[in-house]
Each structure stands twice: as C-alpha cells, then as structure tokens.
Amino acid sequence: MQLGMVGLGRMGGNILRRVMLAGHQGVAFDRDAAAVAALVAEGATGASSLAALVALLPAPRVIWLMLPAGEITEACLAELHGLLSPGDVIIEGGNSFWKDSRRRGAEAAARGLHYLDIGTSGGVWGLKRGYCLMIGGDAGVVARLNPLLAALVPGPGSALPTDGRAARDARPAQGYVHCGPNGAGHYAKMVHNGIEYGMMQAMAEGLDLMRSAPFELDLPDITEAWRRGSVVSSWLLDLTAQALAFDPDLTEYSGRVSDSGEGRWTVDAAVEQAVPVPVLAAALFARFRSRQEASFADKALSAMRKGFGGHLEPKVDTRPQAAGGGSAALPSAPQT
C-alpha cells in the first residue's frame, strides 16, 4: 500500500519509516525541506506541497496528518478537502480534541471522504518499539487499512497473552484497537494521557519521598531493581531508572513541567460526565504548581517526559498545546 504523510516531526517521520520498512511505499511532505530530503534518502517520494502529495498518490488515497492540534490541522484539512476525491482516506494522528474529530468526520463524510482519528502512543521510540493505536471511524475503512496499521504496532510478542481473549478481536493483542465511530479514538487517547499524568505523578512523588528518607537510599539502584519482578515495573520506570543512572540528582532539569492539553481535556470530560477523577486532577494541578516552585519530584517528571517523548522543559511558561508530531506549517508539538 501507499501512505502519504503530512508532518515529519518526531513521530510523523518515524511512522512513515516504519511502514516503509514493512514494504509499503511512502510519500512525504513537510514545510522543512531537510526533513523531506531525509525520508527521500531512505526510499520515500518527496512532495513539495499538499497538492503535489495528492497528485503522487493513486486513488483511493491514504493521507496521514501528524500535526499540532488546532488551527494548523484545521487549515490542512480544509485544503485537503478541496484536493481529494470521494473514497480517499484522511487519518488524523495528532492529539486533537475528540469533539473536533467527531465534527471533522462528519465534514469529511459530506464530501464523500473517509476520516479516521487515530490516537497514537509511542513517542520517539515508536520506530523501534511500535505504536499503540486507538482508532475512531468506519469499521470497513479500518479493515481495509489493516496492512498499514499492522505494520505500525508492536505485535503480540510485546506483552504476555491475556487469558480469556481467544474468542475476541485479535487486533488489540497486536497493539491497535477500533474504539468506535469518529471521536472515539481521540477520546481514548485523551484518557490514556490523563492516566499517564497520574502514573507519572505517583512515581515522581515516591522518588521525592525516598530522597528525603532517614537513610542514604540509592535511587538509581532501587529503581533498577524495581524494573524486575516488581508490580510497579513499566516503561515509565525504565525511563526513570535510565535518567537516574546518568544523573542521580537530575541536575539537567529545573522541574518546570508542561501539560500538553490532554490532561486538561480529561478533567473537563470528567466534570461534564460527573465522573470523579481525583488522582488525574491532582496530577494536572501538580504540573501547574511545578511552574511556581519545583521539587525533585518535578525533575523526575521532566526526566520521564524527555525519555518517552523528547519533551524539553519550557524556558518560560507557555500555553498548553495538544500535540501532533509534525511541522508541515508550524513547529512540531510534543506527543506521547
């Protein structure tokens, strides 16, 4: 199959690389000519504009957007709507607000186009580890794109089998799930990132407590031991142990922790649906507090965010941006 990618930032470029490594053909567009040239050197076809990208792809086309949420994505979709033909598929893989994705699906359908909102987790490690995909949209379109989607996910060997799943959909055990209609994929990714906030905050607070213990606790050694056989073992712990091994005091970090938007949306959704989420809300508020007075726990959060997503601490306070991984018209925003 052929895939057109718009936005070749930290995630978009590697998504295209991974499908190409599986034998699919890639067409690449980004406002950064160097990013396009890098993919061309690896076998992709380069495009100089959205119109050129569309012209290079045979119908029915599949075009994946990996851009910052908001105006840049809206503008790109509006331009594509005037270029594509009925039956073409637009995939929106950035961290867009789920209500926007539901609306965009209806707008695409009115033009005879298909739209999939695919919440994409895997960060800067996705090329090597694979991506977890949470998909919203028409089930038939999802099934038709299975060869591309299957090329992106980690596969069954990335986790132990779950008892009782023999009669269920096999795709979740590969690392991708059809969540429902348009909006459902980005809703699941929103909650995923809210949970991520809570898990990171709990780990960071525990490290801060151990650092203040009445003992000389070796945090690099303790976190390394926890990676094996512990109920708190996880990829986040792996990244934390690695950061502590290189710098036990995390002196590289100031502890100013950004929030990329999905945590706020998660708490907003909880209020709308009257669902109590005290841990997720507290984790979000802790990030706000870190911009006033940072602690070792905040440095640990910054280390984890850099580890999985390449997120750098802001030099000054910034407004939250929900993220995609590309830079077709604006600078890349962080993604997890």
d(C-alpha 211, C-alpha 90), whole Å: 48
Question: What string of DSSP letters covers 99-129?
Answer: HHHHHHHHHHHHTT-EEEEEEEE-GGGHHHH
Catalytic site residue from 71, 74, 189, 299? 189
Q: Pick the closest to residue 153 from 205, 203, 118 (CA basis).
A: 118
Residue 329, token pair as written in the block: 């018209």
C-alpha to C-alpha distances, 284 to 3, 98, 140, 204, 209, nearest whole angstrom: 36, 19, 37, 13, 19
2-6 and 62-65 as β-strands: parallel, antiparallel, unpaired? parallel
Please enumerate in sequence order all residues whose Cβ is within 8 A of that of 247, keeping only pairs 6 or more positions apart, or say none: none
299 is known as an active-site residue: no
Q: Pick the closest to residue 197 from 97, 277, 95, 269 (CA basis).
A: 277
189 is known as an active-site residue: yes
d(C-alpha 28, C-alpha 48), whole Å: 9
Q: Indicate the SS3 state at residue 157.
A: helix
Contact (Cβ atoms closer than 8 angstroms) between residue 78 and residue 51: no
Please enumerate in sequence order all residues whose Cβ is within 8 A of that of 173, keeping only pairs 6 or more positions apart, or say none: 156, 161, 162, 165
Catalytic site residue from 196, 205, 262, 313? 196
Provide the β-strand partners of residue 63.
4, 90
The burial class, CB within 10 Å (0-12 / 13-18 / 19+), for 316 is exposed
* Overall residue count recorded for the chain in this entry: 336
Residue 328, token pair as written in the block: 């077709």
Catalytic annotation, residues: 189, 196
